[in-house]
Amino acid sequence: MNDDFFWFVNNRIVIPGVKGEYRFIHITDLHIHAWDEMSTEEEKERAKNAWVEGKENFAKSSGEPFGESQKISTVEAFEKILLLANELSPKAILLTGDNLDHMHPAGEKYLKNRLLEYAKKGGKYICVPGNHEAPDFDGIWSSELQVFDFKEFRIVAINDSEKTVDEETLIKLESLCKDGIPIIIICHIPLSTELCRSKLEYAGPYFYIDEKTDDSNGRKFVSLVKNSEEIRAVICGHLHRYIKCEISDGKIQIIGSQGMAGAVDLITVCGE
């Protein structure tokens, strides 16, 4: 799509033995504000002005593209993303949290309707909640671990929006790792290990789950992702900045930048 709003990063996740090529688009941190006839005047103003300065400040601090084309509302941004998805026909849109800036009736109705319309046309989406959202949103995302089978690998959606995961998620993930099927994890908050900590420390500990965290479930989660042979990559957001790093040798983490400012990760999963 020839649209100055977008800027793209190409990413490859190589899984030995995978015979096909599977293309996804990854979008994170949309922070959608919407309003309708039931919204208050305050809600309408908030929807029109949300993130106008914030997204530009994030872009400037990270040296990422930002111009007049990015100065559009969060709803307009998402409409462009849906048009892009219709054009590219990915295996799925991966939405890794802060899809809504907060849970509000107009935004929930808008996002749900638009995603369900996309699905009715044959599109697929996979969502996880972010720290700005409720952990469950009926029919859109869940606080529980979700598994999506792509025959040669799985995408596992995990709620880590509170900088930890629950005990049930750990048990399920450990069980999946015993099946011998490659796993790509999508979540909202990045994981920090010794190998990638230097790339994340600038943001401060609020923005990642460190393997040395005081939270025991957080430590177990990072350790499992780091050490499991079946988990091959992590795709996440939260930083409003694109970073590609390694959690352990050969295991990449793709941290997407802000979708509300046109950031799109083009991800190809393939064999060697």
Mean pLDDT over each residue of the chain, to the nearest integer: 95
In a domain, 82, yes or no: yes
In a domain, 25, yes or no: yes
The pLDDT score that the predictor gives to residue 36 is 87
Structural domains counted in the chain: 1
pLDDT tier for residue 2 given thresholds of 50, 70 and 90? low
Q: Find the CATH number of the domain harbouring 218.
A: 3.60.21.10
Burial class, 16, CB count within 10 angstroms (exposed 0-12 / middle 13-18 / buried 19+): exposed
Judge whether residue 159 has pLDDT over 80: yes
Say if residues 96 and 235 touch (Cβ distance below 8 Å): yes
DSSP H or E stretch at residue 253: strand 251-255
Judge whether residue 52 has pLDDT over 80: yes
Range of the domain at 44: 7-270
In a domain, 2, yes or no: no
The residues, ordered by sequence, that sit 6+ positions from 55 with a Cβ below 8 Å of its Cβ are 31, 66, 70, 240, 258, 260, 261
3-class secondary-structure state, position 246: strand
Segment 183-226, tens digit of pLDDT = 999 999 999 999 999 999 999 999 999 999 999 999 999 999 99
In a domain, 141, yes or no: yes
Say if residues 17 and 180 touch (Cβ distance below 8 Å): no
Residues pairing with 23 in the sheet: 268
The pLDDT score that the predictor gives to residue 1 is 63
pLDDT tier for residue 4 given thresholds of 50, 70 and 90? very high
Segment 30-51, tens digit of pLDDT = 999 998 888 888 888 777 777 8
The whole-number average pLDDT for the span 54-81 is: 95
In a domain, 1, yes or no: no
Segment 130-156, tens digit of pLDDT = 999 999 999 999 999 999 999 999 999
